[in-house]
């Protein structure tokens, strides 16, 4: 299996590269993999040229190919302005949009304060969800005070185990065996159909007698009774 580690650290030495190396070592203890580290600091000029001329340089092309062919990725970025660094984002901007589809990815970040730990959920995970990668459930954030403290090693081991399991499962999944065709059962003989009895002729319908309605009176045939006369007829007689 091929494991590629993408580190966006800018300084030498770099806490971002240190976290990337510890994650790669933890994955290597759980799954046999050839590890390749891509340092984006060394590719910054070629990434910028790719934006302006549309063609990757030799080193950048090799890095893009390695990421595309990897069985799993570890990506680590420093936190700049509460998000991933511009160099980190630029590298994945020049990567083919389908290169990470279905690929297991472990996301990680470093920062000077624990207050930036949500960068994993608010920035990194949505980015790789858009690229259709399969991010492992556990992300790893390391603040300055985390180095040498309890908790970081446990998070590294848990995330590395999840990535190794995904990589091993995808590479070892056998192709589904072809299902042999089942021969069709012979058709049952069809019973002969009994002859249909002749239908008796239907007697002709008797025409209905015409409905005679009384002629309506015209307006001239009605007797007009004054209102006072009708009112007087309703009064009780003395």
- Structural domains of the chain, ranges and CATH numbers in brackets: 2-168 (3.40.50.360)
Q: What percentage of the chain exceeds 90 in pLDDT?
A: 63
Q: Which residue's entry shows tokens 């001329």?
A: 53
Q: pTM above 0.75?
A: no
Q: Considering the chain, what is the average pLDDT of its residues?
A: 86
Note the pLDDT of residue 238: 57
Note the pLDDT of residue 229: 75
Is the per-residue pLDDT at 177 higher than 80?
A: no
Distance CA 72, CA 37 (A): 12
Per-residue pLDDT tens digits for 77-111? 999 988 999 999 999 999 999 999 999 999 999 99
Per-residue pLDDT tens digits for 186-205? 666 666 666 666 666 666 66
Is the per-residue pLDDT at 170 higher than 80?
A: no
pLDDT band of 214, cuts 50, 70, 90: low
Burial pattern 51-77, b for ≥16 Cβ within 10 A else e, equals: eeeeebeeebeebbebbeebbbbbbbb
Q: Is 107 helix (H, G, I), strand (E, B) or coil?
A: strand
- For residue 220, what are the contacts with CB-CB under 8 A and spacing of at least 6? none
């Amino acid at each position: 299996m091929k494991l590629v580690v993408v580190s966006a650290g800018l300084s030498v030495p770099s806490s971002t590269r240190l976290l990337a190396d510890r994650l790669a070592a933890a994955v290597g203890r759980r799954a046999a993999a050839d590890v390749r580290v891509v340092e984006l600091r060394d590719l910054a000029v070629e990434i910028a040229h790719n934006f302006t001329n549309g063609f990757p340089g030799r080193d950048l092309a090799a890095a893009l190919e390695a990421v595309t062919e990897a069985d799993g990725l570890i990506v680590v970025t420093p936190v700049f302005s509460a998000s991933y660094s511009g160099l980190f984002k630029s590298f994945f901007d020049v990567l083919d949009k389908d290169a990470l589809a279905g690929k297991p990815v472990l996301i990680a970040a470093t920062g000077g304060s624990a207050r930036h730990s949500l960068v994993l959920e608010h920035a990194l995970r949505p980015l790789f969800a858009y690229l259709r990668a399969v991010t492992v459930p556990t992300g790893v954030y390391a603040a300055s005070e985390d180095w040498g403290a309890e908790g970081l090693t446990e998070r590294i081991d848990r995330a590395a185990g999840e990535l190794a399991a995904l990589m091993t499962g995808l590479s070892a999944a056998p192709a589904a065996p072809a299902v042999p065709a089942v021969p069709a059962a012979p058709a049952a003989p069809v019973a002969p159909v009994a002859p249909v009895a002749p239908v008796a002729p239907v007697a002709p319908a008797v025409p209905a007698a015409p409905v005679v309605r009384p002629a309506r009176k015209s307006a001239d045939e009605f007797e007009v009774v004054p209102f006072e006369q009708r009112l007087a007829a309703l009064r009780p007689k003395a």
